[in-house]
């Protein structure tokens, strides 16, 4: 079961002798501490879901000289990847005396197609100052049997997998195969997605940096629009299925007149449509800025182009360029109005945003994530991802974060704040809003209220794993 690893063969945590932590009043986490998934509950609600609190334990499962750790980065780029890698390496070395840490190059396929590279505090010392990932990354390439064969052949007993929801699903499958083979190997995930669409967790690393960097593009669009007659600036931001970057960047900027996200349908033509709103705003203000998430309006584009769905190597639906499409639709609309000339500038900063180094906030966050991850692995937990839940770092079973994606709730207060900030219409009928409220209420009543510490761990009964605790 998830809980105290006292029933395992354990050893004193070397942190107790680390002078850096000698002044901390209560450094070690109580094994029974939990973090609740929901803070605000109705008085008649059940206790709800709780996760094991992250942090160093007084007893550890792995001795420092027996650890062979591996780190891999998968999926698309995101600010903070190098920071997580750096802090995992330095944390293992400096806090636990682990000296055998390797990097897997090129994502999941690197386990069986490339050599590993040794990682030391010296080799990763300044990588947090760079964007991207020094390990390289890729989409797809997941072959569970080959990956676990690699772990087994190389004697790797801690593997840290950094990636988004697809990567975490892959990590879950790896954990299941490791468990099936009875290997003494801790499989740990660090959730990464610039879109902030991983469920349960407060936010993913790189998101703050992305919102901050998006301000540059929005500011440029505003300057261009304000400087021209009937100027329109269109900015496309990342957000495949979730419009968090577009929403927060809009609120932070205050120069945006319309924000379009995947969760909130819109239409172009007719009364109350987007084109009518653009025309009205230009008459009122003389210029406007539109922010659109990359996943917005995909149904409209597909219908207009008779497009057939295709997928990338990660299984994600390939998106059509809503920014170019929307820009052209706006131009076509105003061509029919020769007495209403416009000047439109389209800005797509996607790859600039995700390739930058992380800002100060994300650097601190990445450090906490990495430390929480390695504390859990050293204590003997496996099959979990680590992230803050309601402000406290917790160990979350893989399946909890892969059940569904985190999306903007357009019947919630935050989206209402965006609408108030931009003074745009919601483009939804009263019936649409009521249906969405009903769906939200239904999901709330179906919420799982099981206490995680009561769930069973198949790993503890494995004859070969020597009681490695599973975070399930």
pLDDT of residue 458: 35
pLDDT of residue 53: 92
| Binding-site positions for Mg(2+) | 165
Starting from the edge strand earliest in sequence, which strands make up the sheet with 343-347, in order?
258-260, 287-293, 231-237, 343-347
Give long-range contacts, CB 8 A cutoff, 24+ apart: 179-182: 179/382, 179/383, 179/458, 179/459, 179/462, 179/465, 179/470, 181/148, 181/152, 181/464, 182/462, 182/463, 182/464, 182/465
* CA gap 352, 214 in Å, rounded: 9
pLDDT of residue 403: 83
Run means of pLDDT, 10 residues per run, the chain, 472 residues: 49 81 73 75 67 92 95 95 98 96 95 91 96 92 93 96 92 95 96 90 93 96 96 96 96 96 92 94 96 94 71 65 95 93 96 93 96 96 94 92 89 92 82 59 42 35 42 44
Whether the Cβ atoms of residue 239 and residue 229 lie closer than 8 Å to each other: no
- Is beta strand 59-60 parallel, antiparallel or unpaired with respect to 231-237? unpaired
Which of 195, 208, 257, 362 is an active site residue? 195
| Binding-site positions for substrate | 193-195, 238-240, 294, 351-354
Query: Does the annotation mark 309 as catalytic?
Result: no
| Binding-site positions | 76, 139-140, 164-167, 193-195, 238-240, 294, 351-354
Query: Max alpha carbon distance in the chain (Å)?
Result: 81
Residue 192 has what DSSP assignment? B
């Amino acid at each position: 079961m998830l809980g105290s690893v006292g029933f395992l063969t354990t050893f004193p945590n070397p942190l107790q002798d680390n002078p850096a932590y000698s002044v901390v009043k209560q450094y070690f986490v109580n094994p029974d501490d939990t973090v609740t998934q929901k803070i605000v509950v109705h008085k008649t609600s059940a206790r709800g879901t709780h996760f094991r609190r992250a942090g160093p334990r007084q007893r550890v499962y792995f001795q420092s000289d027996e650890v062979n750790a591996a780190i891999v980065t998968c999926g698309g780029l995101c600010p903070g990847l190098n920071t997580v890698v750096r802090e995992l390496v330095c944390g293992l070395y400096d806090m636990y005396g682990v000296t055998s840490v390797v990097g897997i190059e090129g994502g999941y396929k690197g386990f069986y197609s490339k050599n590993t590279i040794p990682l030391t505090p010296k080799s990763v010392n300044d990588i947090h100052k760079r964007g991207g990932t020094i390990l390289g990354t890729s989409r797809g390439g997941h072959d569970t049997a080959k990956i676990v064969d690699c772990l087994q052949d190389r004697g790797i007993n801690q593997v840290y997998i950094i990636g988004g929801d697809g990567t975490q699903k892959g990590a879950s499958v790896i954990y299941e195969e490791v468990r099936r083979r009875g290997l003494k190997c801790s499989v740990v995930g660090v959730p990464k997605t610039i879109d902030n669409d991983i469920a349960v967790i407060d936010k993913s690393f790189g998101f703050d940096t992305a919102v901050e960097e998006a301000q540059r593009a929005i500011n440029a669009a505003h300057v261009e629009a304000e400087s021209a007659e009937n100027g329109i600036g269109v900015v496309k931001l990342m957000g495949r299925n979730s419009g968090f970057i577009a929403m927060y960047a809009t609120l932070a900027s205050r120069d945006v007149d319309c924000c379009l996200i995947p969760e909130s349908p819109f239409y172009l033509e007719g009364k109350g449509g987007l084109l009518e709103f653009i025309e009205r705003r230009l008459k009122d203000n003389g210029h406007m800025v539109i922010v659109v998430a990359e996943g917005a309006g995909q149904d409209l584009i597909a219908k207009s182009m008779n497009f057939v769905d295709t997928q990338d190597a990660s299984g994600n639906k390939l998106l059509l360029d809503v920014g170019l499409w929307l820009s052209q639709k706006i131009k076509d609309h105003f061509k029919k109005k020769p007495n209403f000339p416009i000047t439109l500038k389209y800005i797509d900063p996607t790859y600039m945003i995700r390739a930058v180094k992380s800002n100060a906030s994300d650097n601190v966050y990445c450090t906490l994530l990495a430390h929480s991850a390695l504390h859990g692995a050293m204590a003997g937990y496996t099959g979990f991802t680590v992230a803050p839940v309601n402000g406290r770092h917790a160990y979350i079973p893989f399946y909890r974060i892969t059940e569904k994606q985190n999306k903007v709730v357009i019947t919630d207060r935050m989206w209402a704040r965006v609408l108030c900030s931009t003074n745009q219409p919601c483009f939804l009928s009263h019936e649409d809003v009521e249906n969405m409220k009903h769906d939200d209420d239904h999901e709330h009543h179906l919420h799982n209220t099981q206490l995680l510490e009561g769930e069973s761990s198949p790993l503890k009964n494995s004859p070969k794993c020597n009681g490695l605790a599973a975070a399930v």
